[in-house]
Amino acid sequence: MNSELFVYNTLTQKKEKFQALNAPFVGMYVCGPTVYGEAHLGHARPAISFDLIFRYLQHLNYKVRYVRNITDVGHLENDADEGEDKIAKKAKLENLEPMEIAQHYTDSYHHNMDALNIKRPSIEPRASGHIIEQIIMIEKILQNGFAYESNGSVYFDIEKYRKTENYGKLSGRILDDLQTNTRDLDGQGEKRKPFDFALWKKASPEHIMKWPSPWSVGFPGWHLECSAMGNKYLGEVFDIHGGGMDLLFPHHECEIAQSKAANGIDAVRYWLHNNMITINGQKMGKSLGNFITLNEIFSGHHKLLEQAFSPMTIRFFILQSHYRSTLDFSNDALKAAEKGLKRLLDTYEKINRIKPQNTSTTNVNILKDKCYGAMNDDFNSPIVIANLFEAAKIINQCIDNKEALSHEDIETIKDIFDIFMFQILGLLPDNQNHNQNSADEFIQIILELRKEAKLRKDFETSDKIRERLAAAKIGIKDTKEGTEWEFIN
Ligand code: ZN
Task: Return the pLDDT at 363.
Answer: 96
Q: What is the mean pLDDT of residues 217-232?
A: 96
Task: Return the pLDDT at 444.
Answer: 83
Cα-based distances in Å from 244 to 33, 69, 254, 320: 11, 14, 15, 17
Q: How far is the CA of 226 from the centre of ligand 1 (A)?
A: 5
Is the pLDDT reported for residue 282 higher than 60?
Answer: yes
Of 112-116, 204-208, 347-351, which range is least confident? 204-208
Task: Return the pLDDT at 225.
Answer: 95
Q: What is the mean pLDDT of residues 454-476?
A: 90
**What are phi and psi for residue 475, nearest 5 degrees?**
-95, 140
Helix axes 407-416, 381-399, angle to 10 degrees: 150
Q: How far is the CA of 127 from the centre of ligand 1 (A)?
A: 10
For the chain, the average pLDDT equals 92
Q: What is the mean pLDDT of residues 347-353?
A: 94
Query: For the whole model, what pTM was predicted?
Result: 0.86
Give me the domains of the chain, ranges plus CATH numbers.
6-274 (3.40.50.620), 278-431 (1.10.730), 435-487 (no CATH)
Give the span between the Cα atoms of 13 and 442, in whole angstroms.
Answer: 51
DSSP string for residues in 334-391 = HHHHHHHHHHHHHHHHTGGGPPPBSS-SS-SHHHHHHHHHHHHBT--HHHHHHHHHHH
Q: What is the mean pLDDT of residues 64-85?
A: 85
Cα 397 to the chain's mean position, in Å? 38
Q: How far is the CA of 30 from the centre of ligand 1 (A)?
A: 7
Q: How far is the CA of 333 from the centre of ligand 1 (A)?
A: 31
Q: Is 94 helix (H, G, I), strand (E, B) or coil?
A: helix
Which stretches of 423-487 are assigned E, i.e. beta strand? 474-479, 482-487
Q: How far is the CA of 423 from the centre of ligand 1 (A)?
A: 28
Q: How far is the CA of 269 from the centre of ligand 1 (A)?
A: 16
**What are phi and psi for residue 27, nearest 5 degrees?**
-100, 125
Given a contact cutoff of 8 angstroms between Cβ atoms, the answer to whether 371 and 52 are in contact is: no
Cα-based distances in Å from 369 to 5, 44, 118, 413, 430: 13, 29, 25, 12, 26
Is the pLDDT reported for residue 432 higher than 80?
Answer: no
Is the pLDDT reported for residue 239 higher than 50?
Answer: yes
Per-residue confidence at 176, pLDDT binned at 50, 70, 90?
low
| Higher-scoring residue by pLDDT: 82, 416 | 416
Q: How far is the CA of 130 from the centre of ligand 1 (A)?
A: 14
Q: What is the mean pLDDT of residues 46-61?
A: 98
Is the pLDDT reported for residue 477 higher than 50?
Answer: yes
Q: How far is the CA of 17 from the centre of ligand 1 (A)?
A: 25
Per-residue confidence at 95, pLDDT binned at 50, 70, 90?
confident
Q: Is 424 helix (H, G, I), strand (E, B) or coil?
A: helix
DSSP string for residues in 174-238 = -HHHHHHHS---TTGGGSSSTT--EEEEEPPTT--S-B--SS-SEEE-TTHHHHHHHHHHH-SSE
Per-residue confidence at 177, pLDDT binned at 50, 70, 90?
low
For the chain, give the percent of residues with pLDDT over 90: 74
Q: How far is the CA of 293 from the centre of ligand 1 (A)?
A: 22
Task: Return the pLDDT at 484.
Answer: 82
Give the span between the Cα atoms of 199 and 153, in whole angstroms.
Answer: 8
Q: How far is the CA of 402 from the centre of ligand 1 (A)?
A: 53
Task: Return the pLDDT at 438.
Answer: 65
Task: Return the pLDDT at 73.
Answer: 85
Task: Return the pLDDT at 1.
Answer: 45
Q: How far is the CA of 62 from the centre of ligand 1 (A)?
A: 23
Q: How far is the CA of 32 from the centre of ligand 1 (A)?
A: 7
pLDDT tens for each residue of 255-274: 999 999 999 999 999 999 99
Give the span between the Cα atoms of 372 and 420, in whole angstroms.
Answer: 9
Q: How far is the CA of 149 from the centre of ligand 1 (A)?
A: 23
Give the span between the Cα atoms of 483 and 453, in whole angstroms.
Answer: 14
Q: How far is the CA of 60 from the centre of ligand 1 (A)?
A: 26
Is the pLDDT reported for residue 277 higher than 70?
Answer: yes
CB proximity list for 141: less than 8 A, separation 6 or greater: 147, 156, 199, 258, 261, 262
Q: How far is the CA of 123 from the centre of ligand 1 (A)?
A: 14
Is the pLDDT reported for residue 179 higher than 90?
Answer: no
* Segment holding 145, helix H or strand E: none
Q: How far is the CA of 224 from the centre of ligand 1 (A)?
A: 8
